[in-house]
Chains A and B, each alone.
Chain A
């Protein structure tokens, strides 16, 4: 034993913690590579998942992750190249089936490979920022199969060919198609778009360009639209069956552009079948189709609207300016209502109740109704007709409907005050003659006018109704206070407030003595209960029921006007009276008297008087007798007065003048109101504001406004600015 030896003793440090078989990585990888081969060859039954998983785990754990990963890439790539060959070799229609089968296999294999390499996927790949296994499998499939030279174009052509076949009516295997498209989508949106969608859209555009050209040459508009609609539906169906949902807007855009947008004008204007013809023939279905299709493209609805508007304006203008139509006001308005109904129906049934179309319709009506200055009068006459007799036996709802329609026309009127004027006249006649069919209908219309134009517009009309009501009460009171009057003739007085009623030239005639006594009693009674009032008799507006016995004892009750009554009563005391005598006795104005005599002596069936000489017109020298031979199968005979229902030309002028006269204070009031708040304003702005304020009642004429301004300046309401003559100032 020597110290020397002891000193030489050394302990060697461990060089390696664990002795790893230098071929460890190679061996392990070979096992895994073999397993991948077996998986791709459908021969995995001999494989142990646990063993493979552990091997892959160990490789990553022992820092052979990169070897494992690159080995996977190489092995998978070589398998995909083989697969690529077998797909290329597939003949004809088997091509897609083979592609789909191999895709399924690949996915299944990829899932199993991913299971084995799960640990690598979870740890090695994120820390090295490599592509995860599943995505790697997709990318390799894309690069080696889909983008391989021999497959890429063949696949695209096959798919496009199948789509074309289906478009031309053949049945294709949609399931297979869906699977292949799904594969492209699974490979990423860029693959789907680049390798299929973009070329598909291009080919489709070409197809529909050609087809639409063909159709438009040989089809009428309705048929063309049907075909376009069918194509559009087919494409949407195609998307739901086997394309990506996001392709829908793209392919429908193509069809819309090629089949509709490019031919829009031509379709609308197509001879004998275009939009105007559809409107004329109420082709709801075709119009609806056109609406739905054109809505899809830019400016489509605008075009329809333009053509519809100009058509309505044109036909409306013809309607209101046709001199034939002016002969019958009721028919005139009825035609307007029919026209409105027609287009309302079209808009409801075909145009989806589109607000813009409703607005276009309204503005068109407003345009042409006001082309005819007599429209307000005619509308009022139409109401008059309806409220006199047209509504008999019509249910309350239907009455409302008719009134609502009238109100719609009323809304279009610019000169609402003219309508008011006529309406007042017509209403007065209806009320006084008791010709109103339904009080409810009358009131309902007043309410409608009130909601439309405000309290002011209808206050006088309502006043008329109040007068009628109070008169009834007054009459009850009168007879209650005079019980002795029960036997004599009955007097019914309607007390009308001056101003509420259309003023009539008042010419009192001489009433028969029996009546004037009664009238005096009423006057005494009325003035006794109401102090400070004045009563004047409007004999031109009254009616009377008188009993008459003719030559052979025929008894009749005659319903006549007050004037006629006065004339007939004269014959109680005379057999023969000539014109002058009658005129003197009654003091009825000549024109009224002539009309009154004419209606009693010249109308067949109502000729209670006989005239010498027999002629149509009344002469100043004519003589009159009671017609002893008068017969009628009715006991009650109504003798009308010959009246011009429609206004005569001078009357029209007069009404017009009255309207203009009434407008003056309204315009002045508006000017003052505006100037009071603005203090000063230039001419153009005044005109604009006044027009705006008054447009709910009428369209103010600028020259008239100017005249009113002048008049206000004269009366020191306004003054002109010294330096700027166009500027007005309000003088408080």
Chain B
């Protein structure tokens, strides 16, 4: 920065601020302050006295404090929205976002907010975006919220029922929907997260013919591929693969007889082994099928199913599954929130259940129970059950925390948690009884 003296004087909306050029350097070149002190501009005019900025001085004070300390404190008299608007003017919105909440840690989460939406009916899925936003699928609509929790234009694909939704990046969302009978609608679409406009529609080709299809679970790989479970009209079931950049279908893994791929509940891309986990679970099918697909040589490299196994008294049925590559295992959960583990290195796998006594079993059961869901984030395992999310850590997966709205703050109580998602250093939990979702954040680190 071509600025001679270290002291800088601003007159913001009539209030005088003094700061140092070092503080302002924290704003970066690509900001209002970066530009105003660039030699292109400082050489032009003589600013011996002060810079006048015609903006809100209260917000400027907060933002200047953020530049000074890297921490964000919003006084009660300033609304967050006002502050965000001012930060956007200075080109410092990203600074505000990264100071707003701390780095994700499942054991230090605090409920930051609950948002109530207008959509009727049950929520299908909630997905956290990479920069703190989220999207919620309700029936045939997907509602998109940015990290400031401002709602953007909703997304819909031919008003067909949404099965799954996912973020490719902070700007792009893919949704998968049911096929509409008799027409070529449905399938999958790529949308702008900020404007909600349809950017691309993915098609399935069978024998060089474009077929309409129902798209189910979604997953994305780091090498720009999109995977989706597909059901076609004439029993063309399997997993489709598309290129994120061109939008073209590049592969299709047909469902082998006696197995299930096209109905899958869950897809998970495994970066380390370059495989896709496909899980079809009870009650979508009578039996559970979990397999790992290697697309390079079109092989099912690992598989497990409970078909043919005798049904035991306590009937432990797998309700969700997640691969944990670092532990070479797959974690599964049953309807009593018992965790089970399978070894990925042996193909003749059986589930090793870790039975834990569950106090909440029986009592405190909500009217409308939800099936448990699993998530993994940097070595922490999360599982949802009823209105509560449990956090497990360590090699033995010890229960370390439990996330639940406290009873006192239940003005927006939404009942059981039907889905949750972790991303952008936030955890989003969607309730099933009321259209409410919670945002859990890690607070910024303590002062000392």
Q: Are B89 and A119 touching (Cβ within 8 A)?
A: yes
Query: Interface stretch among A46-54, A397-405, A446-454, A462-470?
Result: A46-54
Contacts of B286 in A (CB 8 A): none
Chain A facing B: main interface SS:
helix
Report the Cα distance A57→B85, complex, angstroms. Answer: 12
Within 8 A of B (CB), among A127-148: 127, 129
Within 8 A of B (CB), among A43-81: 44-50, 53-54, 57
Q: Are A112 and B45 touching (Cβ within 8 A)?
A: no
Is B40 among interface residues, defined by CB-CB distance under 8 A? yes
Report the Cα distance A57→B91, complex, angstroms. Answer: 11
Contact with A along B12-48 (1 / 0, CB 8 A): 0000000000000000001110011010110111000
Q: Are A50 and B51 touching (Cβ within 8 A)?
A: yes
Report the Cα distance A53→B88, complex, angstroms. Answer: 13
Which chain A residue shows the least CB distance to B43? A45
**Residue of A49, A123, A126 touching B36 (CB-CB under 8 A):** A49
Contacts of A47 in B (CB 8 A): 44-45
**Residue of A112, A122, A123, A126 touching B41 (CB-CB under 8 A):** A112
Report the Cα distance A122→B194, complex, angstroms. Answer: 13
Report the Cα distance A457→B30, complex, angstroms. Answer: 81
Is B54 among interface residues, defined by CB-CB distance under 8 A? yes
Min Cβ gap B95→A in Å is 13
Min Cβ gap B59→A in Å is 14
Report the Cα distance A50→B35, complex, angstroms. Answer: 10
Is B195 among interface residues, defined by CB-CB distance under 8 A? yes
> Which among A50, A112, A122 has the highest number of chain B CB atoms within 10 Å?
A50
Contact with A along B37-74 (1 / 0, CB 8 A): 01011011100000111100000000000000000000
Min Cβ gap A8→B in Å is 40
**Residue of B36, B40, B194 touching A127 (CB-CB under 8 A):** B194
Min Cβ gap A529→B in Å is 71
Which chain A residue shows the least CB distance to B41? A49
Report the Cα distance A57→B86, complex, angstroms. Answer: 11
Is B171 among interface residues, defined by CB-CB distance under 8 A? yes
Within 8 A of B (CB), among A99-125: 108, 111-112, 115-116, 118-119, 122-123
Q: Are B88 and A123 touching (Cβ within 8 A)?
A: yes
**Residue of B40, B54, B171 touching A111 (CB-CB under 8 A):** B40
Question: Given A45-B45, A118-B35, A50–B53 Cβ distance below 8 Å?
Answer: yes
Report the Cα distance A119→B30, complex, angstroms. Answer: 10
> Which among A49, A108, A129 has the highest number of chain B CB atoms within 10 Å?
A49
Report the Cα distance A45→B91, complex, angstroms. Answer: 24
Which chain B residue shows the least CB distance to A48? B45
Contacts of B31 in A (CB 8 A): 118
Contact with A along B80-118 (1 / 0, CB 8 A): 000000001101000000000000000000000000000
Question: Given A50-B51, A111-B40, A126-B194, A118–B45 Cβ distance below 8 Å?
Answer: no
Q: Are B171 and A45 touching (Cβ within 8 A)?
A: no
Which chain A residue shows the least CB distance to B46? A45
Which chain B residue shows the least CB distance to A115? B35
Q: Are B171 and A115 touching (Cβ within 8 A)?
A: no
**Residue of B38, B52, B194, B195 touching A115 (CB-CB under 8 A):** B38
Q: Are A50 and B171 touching (Cβ within 8 A)?
A: no
Q: Are A108 and B89 touching (Cβ within 8 A)?
A: no
Min Cβ gap A593→B in Å is 86
**Residue of A48, A112, A122, A123 touching B40 (CB-CB under 8 A):** A112
Contacts of B51 in A (CB 8 A): 50
Min Cβ gap B36→A in Å is 5
Contact with B along A295-339 (1 / 0, CB 8 A): 000000000000000000000000000000000000000000000
Report the Cα distance A730→B35, complex, angstroms. Answer: 95
Question: Given A50-B36, A123-B88, A127-B194, A118–B44 Cβ distance below 8 Å?
Answer: no
Q: Are A49 and B35 touching (Cβ within 8 A)?
A: yes
**Residue of A44, A122, A129 touching B44 (CB-CB under 8 A):** A44
Q: Are A127 and B195 touching (Cβ within 8 A)?
A: yes
Q: Are A118 and B91 touching (Cβ within 8 A)?
A: yes
Which chain B residue shows the least CB distance to A109? B40
Min Cβ gap B112→A in Å is 25
Min Cβ gap B126→A in Å is 24
Which chain A residue shows the least CB distance to B199? A129
Min Cβ gap A36→B in Å is 14
Min Cβ gap A123→B in Å is 7
Min Cβ gap A520→B in Å is 83
> Which among B36, B44, B54 has the highest number of chain A CB atoms within 10 Å?
B44
Contacts of B88 in A (CB 8 A): 119, 122-123
Min Cβ gap B412→A in Å is 31
Contacts of A115 in B (CB 8 A): 35-36, 38, 40-41
Min Cβ gap B2→A in Å is 13
Min Cβ gap A82→B in Å is 21
Q: Are B45 and A119 touching (Cβ within 8 A)?
A: no
Which chain A residue shows the least CB distance to B171? A126
Report the Cα distance A108→B51, complex, angstroms. Answer: 23
Contacts of A108 in B (CB 8 A): 40
Contact with A along B187-225 (1 / 0, CB 8 A): 000001011000000000000000000000000000000
Report the Cα distance A49→B43, complex, angstroms. Answer: 12
Contacts of A119 in B (CB 8 A): 88-89, 91
Report the Cα distance A395→B352, complex, angstroms. Answer: 74
Min Cβ gap A127→B in Å is 5
Which chain A residue shows the least CB distance to B10? A50
Within 8 A of A (CB), among B281-337: none
Report the Cα distance A129→B197, complex, angstroms. Answer: 11
Q: Are B32 and A118 touching (Cβ within 8 A)?
A: yes
Between-chain CB contacts (< 8 Å), 26 pairs: A44-B41, A45-B45, A47-B45, A48-B45, A49-B35, A49-B36, A49-B41, A49-B45, A50-B51, A50-B53, A53-B35, A108-B40, A111-B38, A112-B41, A115-B36, A116-B35, A118-B31, A118-B32, A118-B91, A119-B88, A119-B91, A122-B91, A123-B88, A127-B194, A127-B195, A129-B192
Knowing that A47-B44, A119-B89 touch, tell me 11 more A-B residue pairs with CB under 8 angstroms.
A44-B41, A45-B45, A46-B45, A47-B45, A50-B53, A53-B32, A53-B36, A111-B40, A115-B40, A122-B91, A127-B195
| A-B complex: 4 closest residue pairs judged by Cβ atoms | A115-B35, A45-B44, A49-B41, A44-B44
Binding site for A on B (CB under 8 A): 30-32, 35-36, 38, 40-41, 43-45, 51-54, 88-89, 91, 171, 192, 194-195
